Structure 1
């Protein structure tokens, strides 16, 4: 669970509510259904118009990444690749075939099968890098969906404000209807700017950062498989792959 995301949402909303209260305002004054419908519906419609269905649905599925940290056991992956390298040096590449069925990572399983089949290391790298590039591109497009939400929401909020002012101008002769129109005008702007800068843009940014972590793990997997196919020393493979780890996780030489 990504506690920082949850705390961020609580702090963002809490600051607005507390600030409104300290100014003597009421929560009901910023809860305007009409303004919300204009901003939420208009923004959603614009984003749906911009992106194709697969990209849009992928973005919705990626929301879970904002609140759940991806499971990336980089040290365990390095240990697994080193173990495979040791087995290969002792018993040959064909000894790795029995290990393929025990692997859970699809990329590692596919790459190891190519190693066992005797595929040239450059070809292994080429094939697997295409998969990783497509994976990264898929999530990059999902992040762009949230950038789209963040870009359209303030503009739609301005549209809501203009609509509210039009309503005010149409009812200048009836003072009882002026308050509602003015409220919609200002609250729509608050909704548009608030949703964009407190939710949509930060969510897109966090998804992109977490995808980079997953891509780094896949790049490490490819490097390990290529090194394995080249018959490099297990110790050298471990040293090379350790370079992908954050500095805080690297073992310090004694």
Structure 2
């Protein structure tokens, strides 16, 4: 769980409430339910108009990234790559076949599988670069949806 995201939301609401109290208001009035019902769905639908359906689906599917820790742990990935490369140097590339099937990361598993299958380094590199570009495009499209929604959103309470 990413505490900074949750803490950021909580502190934003707290600071708005404190400011409202200092101005003599009631923090309960900060949350105006009918405004939220009008603004939030309208904003999300307006952002859908300018975003491809594939990216809208990705945006809602990947929103969990904001609040959860990433699945890929870089230190473990580096350790596994060093271990597999040492094993390949000592025992040959075919010795990696059983270990490659156990790799959880799809990107790494696909790359090592191509190497075990005997593909030349240039085709492996080209295939992995294409996979990187596709993944970047996927996440960029998902992020674009939320950026568009943020730009399209009218100010709450205006």
TM-score (structure 1 length as normaliser): 0.58
Q: How far apart in 1 are the matches of 2:41 and 2:83?
A: 54
Q: How far apart in 1 are the matches of 2:2 and 2:105?
A: 23
Partner of 1:55, secondary structure, is helix
| Residue 60 of structure 2 corresponds to residue 63 of structure 1 | no
Shift of 1:28: 4.5
Judged with a 3 Å threshold, the aligned counterparts in structure 2 of structure 1 residues 123 and 23 are, in CA distance, closer, same or farther, namely same
| Residue 21 of structure 2 corresponds to residue 52 of structure 1 | no
Judged with a 3 Å threshold, the aligned counterparts in structure 2 of structure 1 residues 12 and 88 are, in CA distance, closer, same or farther, namely same
Q: How far apart in 2 are the matches of 1:81 and 1:69?
A: 22
Q: How far apart in 2 are the matches of 1:3 and 1:17?
A: 21
Q: How far apart in 2 are the matches of 1:145 and 1:37?
A: 20
Note the alpha carbon deviations across 1:166-218, whole angstroms, 9 max, x for none.
xxxxxxxxxxxxxxxxxxxxx532xxxxxxxxxxxxxxxxxxxxxxxxxxxxx
Q: Which runs of 5+ in 2 are unaligned?
A: none
Q: How far apart in 1 are the matches of 2:96 and 2:11?
A: 51
Of Structure 1 and Structure 2, the greater helix share is in 1
Judged with a 3 Å threshold, the aligned counterparts in structure 2 of structure 1 residues 78 and 115 are, in CA distance, closer, same or farther, namely same
Note the alpha carbon deviations across 1:103-137, whole angstroms, 9 max, x for none.
22222222112112221111111001111111111
Shift of 1:44: 2.1
Q: How far apart in 1 are the matches of 2:36 and 2:85?
A: 58
Q: Which runs of 5+ in 1 are unaligned?
A: 158-186, 190-254
- How many aligned residue pairs are there? 158
Q: Name the counterpart of 1:75.
A: 75
Determine if contact 1:84/1:96 at 8 Å carries over to the other structure.
yes
Q: Name the counterpart of 1:92.
A: 92
Q: How far apart in 1 are the matches of 2:134 and 2:40?
A: 31
Structure index of larger Rg: 1
Q: Name the counterpart of 1:216.
A: none
User: Which 4+ runs in 1 deviate beyond 6 A?
Assistant: none
Q: Name the counterpart of 2:20.
A: 20
Partner of 2:157, secondary structure, is helix
